Amino acid sequence: MHLLVCGGTGCSASQSAKIVENLQLELKRQGQEDVQVILTGCFGFCEKGPIVKVMPDNTFYTEVKPEDAGEIVAEHVIKGRKVTRLLYTDPENKEHISDSKHMGFYKKQLRIALRNCGFIDPENIDEYVANDGYAAVAKVLTEMSAEQVIEEIKLSGLRGRGGGGFPTGLKWEIASKNHADQKYVVCNADEGDPGAFMDRSILEGDPHSVIEAMTINGFAIGATKGLIYIRAEYPLAIHRLQIAIGQAREYGLLGKNIFGSGFDFDIELRYGAGAFVCGEETALIHSMEGLRGEPTFKPPFPAQSGYLGKPTNVNNVETYANIPIIILKGANWFNKIGTEKSKGTKVFALAGQINNVGLIEVPMGITLREVIYEIGGGIKNGRAFKAVQTGGPSGGCLTEKHLDTPIDYDNLIAAGSMMGSGGMVVMDDTSCMVSIAKFYLEFTVEESCGKCTPCRVGNKRLHEILEKITKGNGTMEDLDALRNLAAVIKDTALCGLGQTSPNPVLSTLDNFGDEYLEHVKDKKCRAGVCKSLMKYVIDPEACVGCTACARNCPVNAIAGEKKMPHVINTELCIKCGACIERCKFNAISIK
């Protein structure tokens, strides 16, 4: 028997390390030293974290607290009785579910890239090896030619998971055909999409799969050096990668003459320093060269002239995580999963106003409805679904009418959004779609490198127009200007960041045009988000004069005698909403 405790960032934030410590103490105290406690990568079900899983009976405990350790050991480990109160409760029939595969959250998932996350100790190479780890690279180096590897990846239909969806095998083939004394393989781990954390989870939960895949990639294109460009803000992922690289070197899986094949390969880490644009491969390469991370025009593509001017292949973390298993199970296994043009699975960071926030992996072709209602468990607090945003700042907001669209690269683009790196944020009727567009534009404006005019000035102007609209000063001409400007930015910006930055504006204009019109014509924000368009008022009929609102108003804008109806001074009111939160009599409303 052993116990798996989630060590992902979310669960770590909820003291999962303390849980491990307490479990170990309790096991010792209760004489069960032979039971191992393993801190794993992310289980995905962040909403219900911290997660503790008891193996081999697959008991899935949710929302575990450090003080639950004693009971788990005494009851489950020693007596074999499940701790019912820590089991997941099905929201529909209120029954306890002990095995995760019967939970709505997991039922429709298919974990390929995340296959080891939550199952193995990421800091122990032996566990990875025990789960077929490094078998793929062994097969590649001892049984396959570089051409065969590329052919296999091409046949699998795997496309880049970082956003663009470029066929991975083809990318490798191009890099393999450019000859040079030195080539490079680069793993893009500069995950910067606000609301996506799949790469981080893979690196934290299964770092060896990326190392193995990069080695395979190196062999396929003839590169002996690998670089992982990772966000400096990911300390845990960096730590685990460093351990994994060290262990792989110790086992001879990195370094000279791997598996006696004569092939040398090693990996170094490079740190990003907080620039979203560095997710773009030319910018990433410049950043690795110690320069400002500004993109350059392609061609030349990195496959021709990349890091230090040498042919370079760049793939993202999730793409790499798929490679070893494709080699082991074969392209024909992989290409049976998914849709015609999008094979395999995709990891999404499911977040927002949804019941089951977490990291999910689903086969391509699943519908948004299935993801949101079955896996995601529907909208939080029973509110109405309004929109789902995919693709982060490059993507768009999809609506009710898209819910039955099968998710794949091409369908999402056709619907006005994109796959992106896999952020999926669900919104209910408390989200103002103009503000959402503004939120993304604010992000783009902040992250624009400033090199090209459309992105540097154009996005700034887009943001200013949106600001004007949310302040209630928008005109009908502004709506036309938004559209024209957005179209020109898409058409003329230098890099992928700029070319896709107007998508949140265009998709909300298309799908939520009436909300824009309301802001412009009626000066109304139906979601009650745009402060300039709202007024807080106290209903004198409903107010009992409890003074709770007045006491909690941060700017003393509420006056009134005790037990008498209170009044809000709208001049002073900063519309923070503190009064509404405190009012127990529903006397305060936004007009």
Partner 1 sequence: MIKVKLAEDKINKIKEICASFGNKGGEAINVLHKVQGEFGYLPAEVQEVIANELNVSVATIYGIVTFYSFFTMIPKGDHPISICMGTACYVRGSEKVLDEFKRQLKISIGETTPDGKFSLNCLRCVGACGLAPVVLIGEKVYGRVTTDKVKEIIGEYNA
Partner 2 sequence: MMEYVNIIIDDKKIQAEKGQTILKAARAVGIEIPTLCYYELNGQKLENRPGGCRVCVVEVAGRKNLAPACATEVMEGMEIKTHSLRVVNARRTVVELLLSDHPASCLICSKSGNCELQSLAHKLGIRDIPFRGEQSMYKKDDSPAIIREMNKCIMCRRCETVCNKLQTVGALSAVNRGFMAVVAPAFEQDLVQSPCVMCGQCVQACPVGALSEVNQTRQVIHAINNPNKTVVVQTAPAVRVALGEEFGFEPGTIVTGKMAAALRRIGFDYVFDTDFAADLTIMEEGTELLGRISKFMAGDKSVRLPILTSCCPGWVNFFETNYPDMLDVPSTAKSPQQMFGAVAKNYWAEKIGIKREDMIVVSVMPCVAKKFECQRDEFKENGNPDVDYSITTRELAELIKQFNIDFNSLPEEDFDNPLGASTGAAVIFGATGGVIEAATRTAYEIFTGKSLEKVDFTALRGLEGVRSAEVDFNGTPIKIGIAHGLGNARKLLDMVRNGEANFHAIEVMACPGGCVGGAGQPFHHGDFSKVEKRFEAIYREDAGKPIRKSHENPYIKQLYEEFLGKPCGEKSHHLLHTHYFDKSKQIEVEG
Give the separation between CA 159 and CA 329, rounded to whole angstroms: 17
Q: Where in 357-376 is the site for partner 1 (CB under 8 A)? A: 357-358
Q: Does 31 bind partner 2 (CB under 8 A)?
A: no
Tokens encoding 2: 């052993």
Using CB under 8 A, count the residues that bind partner 2.
Answer: 32
Q: Does 491 bind partner 2 (CB under 8 A)?
A: yes
Nearer to partner 2, 436 or 465 (CB): 465
Local structure of 321: helix, strand or coil = helix
In 3D space, the residue among 91, 84, 2, 10 whose CA is nearest the CA of residue 51 turns out to be 10
460 binds, among partner 1, partner 2, none (CB under 5 to 8 A by kind): partner 2
- Of 4, 441, 449, 509, the residue at the interface with partner 1 (CB under 8 A) is 449
Contact letters (x/-) for partner 1, 204-233, by CB under 8 A? ----------------------------xx
Q: Which stretch binds partner 2 (CB under 8 A): 4-12, 51-59, 215-223, 291-299?
A: 291-299
In 3D space, the residue among 2, 9, 27, 5 whose CA is nearest the CA of residue 18 turns out to be 5
- Of 457, 479, 544, 590, the residue at the interface with partner 2 (CB under 8 A) is 457
Local structure of 142: helix, strand or coil = helix
Q: Where in 47-106 is the site for partner 1 (CB under 8 A)? A: 47-49
Q: Does 289 bind partner 1 (CB under 8 A)?
A: yes
Q: Where are the beta strands (DSSP E) in 148-282?
A: 184-189, 225-231, 255-258, 263-272
394 binds, among partner 2, partner 1, none (CB under 5 to 8 A by kind): none
Tokens encoding 267: 């990996």
**In the 8-state DSSP scheme, what is residue 164?**
S
CB 58 within 8 A of CB 106: no
Pairing of strands 2-6, 36-40: parallel
Give the separation between CA 143 and CA 159, rounded to whole angstroms: 25
φ, ψ for residue 549, nearest 5 deg = -65, -45
Q: Does 163 bind partner 1 (CB under 8 A)?
A: no
Pairing of strands 255-258, 184-189: unpaired
Please, what's the largest Cα pairwise distance for the chain? Answer: 87
Q: Does 479 bind partner 2 (CB under 8 A)?
A: no
Nearer to partner 2, 213 or 495 (CB): 495
Nearer to partner 2, 417 or 448 (CB): 448
Contacts of 85 (CB under 8 A, 6+ apart): none
Indicate left, alpha or beta for 86 from its phi (over 0: left) and psi (-120 to 50: alpha). Answer: alpha
Q: CB of residue 169 vs partner 2: minimum separation in angstroms?
A: 22
DSSP characters over 498-550:
HHHTTHHHHHHHHHSHHHHHIIIII---TTS--GGG--EEE-TTT-----HHH
In 3D space, the residue among 222, 201, 405 whose CA is nearest the CA of residue 318 turns out to be 201
91 binds, among partner 2, partner 1, none (CB under 5 to 8 A by kind): none
CB 302 within 8 A of CB 282: yes
Give the separation between CA 170 and CA 187, rounded to whole angstroms: 17
Tokens encoding 205: 């939960």
Contact letters (x/-) for partner 1, 174-203, by CB under 8 A? ------------------xxxxxx--xx--
Q: Does 420 bind partner 1 (CB under 8 A)?
A: no
- Of 171, 447, 511, 588, the residue at the interface with partner 2 (CB under 8 A) is 447
Q: Does 572 bind partner 1 (CB under 8 A)?
A: no
Q: Does 544 bind partner 1 (CB under 8 A)?
A: no
- Of 80, 260, 299, 554, the residue at the interface with partner 1 (CB under 8 A) is 554
Q: Where in 499-528 is the site for partner 2 (CB under 8 A)? A: 499
554 binds, among partner 1, partner 2, none (CB under 5 to 8 A by kind): partner 1
Q: CB of residue 9 vs partner 1: minimum separation in angstroms?
A: 4
Question: What residue ranges bind partner 1 (CB under 8 A)?
Answer: 8-10, 12-14, 46-49, 192-197, 200-201, 232-234, 270-276, 287, 289-293, 308, 349, 351-353, 357-358, 389, 392, 423, 425, 427, 431, 436, 439, 443, 449, 552, 554, 576-578, 581
Question: What residue ranges bind partner 2 (CB under 8 A)?
Answer: 275, 292, 294, 296-297, 299, 445-454, 456-458, 460-461, 464, 481, 484-485, 488, 490-494, 499
